[in-house]
Structure 1
Amino acid sequence: MRHHTPAWLLTMAFLAGASPVAWASAPQEKVFCTDAPRTQWIPEAEARERFGASRYVLVKYKVSKGNCHEFYAVDAQGTVVETYMHPVTGETVRTTRIPASASPATPPRAPQ
């Protein structure tokens, strides 16, 4: 019998800063957005609004190595969303969704 990681456990790992490999893009999939100076970028608050951060239970923001606004978010159903946004235009460059049902399996419990 296989057990799946409960959504609340994934949420706690997300809050703690854990980054399971399935949540991030593979190295060969690096996304590059711009060489424009940061003075031309839309502010983080505007990027969060365009991303729709208020629709998610948790949102983690960072600037990616490819100079994109990068968001990791978890919705109420446990779906994890990774979105790259162009920091000058505000356009979504790429979005990846991982449904809660696709979360990694946990090992079976040891008999007690």
Structure 2
Amino acid sequence: MRTLLLLGLVAASPLTFADPQCTTADKATWQDQTKFQDNLKSQGYDIKKFKVTSTNCYEIYGWDKDKRKVEIYFDPVSGNIVEQEVEDE
């Protein structure tokens, strides 16, 4: 019984679902948040939610140019995608 409980706690651990680490660069080197979002919108993204994560990423929830639901973590310095989840319809 204890083993099952321990396995359940480990599986539900926040570390299991941790955001990726995007950068360790000083925030002064990060791209401007508004300009970053405007650039994504010009690429066809529809941003429902934008946030800065505790692991130094710009994260968006929304839709890409093909109207697929996306969750994407970006490096705020380079703008490169670090991790993404695309939901095909």
**Secondary structure of residue in 2 paired with 1:36:** coil
- Determine which structure has greater relative contact order: mean sequence separation of CA pairs < 8 Å that are 6+ residues apart, divided by chain length: 1
Residue 53 of structure 1 corresponds to which residue in structure 2? 41
* 2:58 equivalent in structure 1: 69
Which residue among 21, 24, 28 is the counterpart of 1:35? 24
| TM-score (normalizing by structure 2) | 0.64
CA–CA distance in structure 2, aligned partners of residues 94 and 72 of structure 1: 12
Identity %: 29
Shift of 1:57: 4.1
Q: What is the aligned residue count?
A: 73
Which residue type is aligned with residue 93 of structure 1?
V
> Residue type matched to 1:73 in 2?
G
Instruction: Kindly report structure 1 stretches of 4+ aligned residues shifted beyond 6 Å.
Output: none
Structure 1: runs of 5+ lacking an equivalent: 1-25, 102-112
Closer, same or farther: CA 53–59 of 1 in aligned 2, 3 Å: farther
Contact 1:47-1:69 within 8 A present in 2 as well? no
Whether the 8 Å CA contact 1:85–1:94 is kept in 2: the answer is yes
Q: TM-score, normalised by structure 1?
A: 0.53
CA distance in 1, matches of 2:28, 2:65: 35
Task: Tell me, in whole angstroms, the C-alpha distance in 1 between the residues paired with 2:46 and 2:29.
Answer: 30
Root mean square deviation, CA, Å: 2.4
Is there any run of 5+ residues in structure 2 with no aligned partner, and where? 1-15
- Secondary structure of the residue aligned to 1:83 is strand
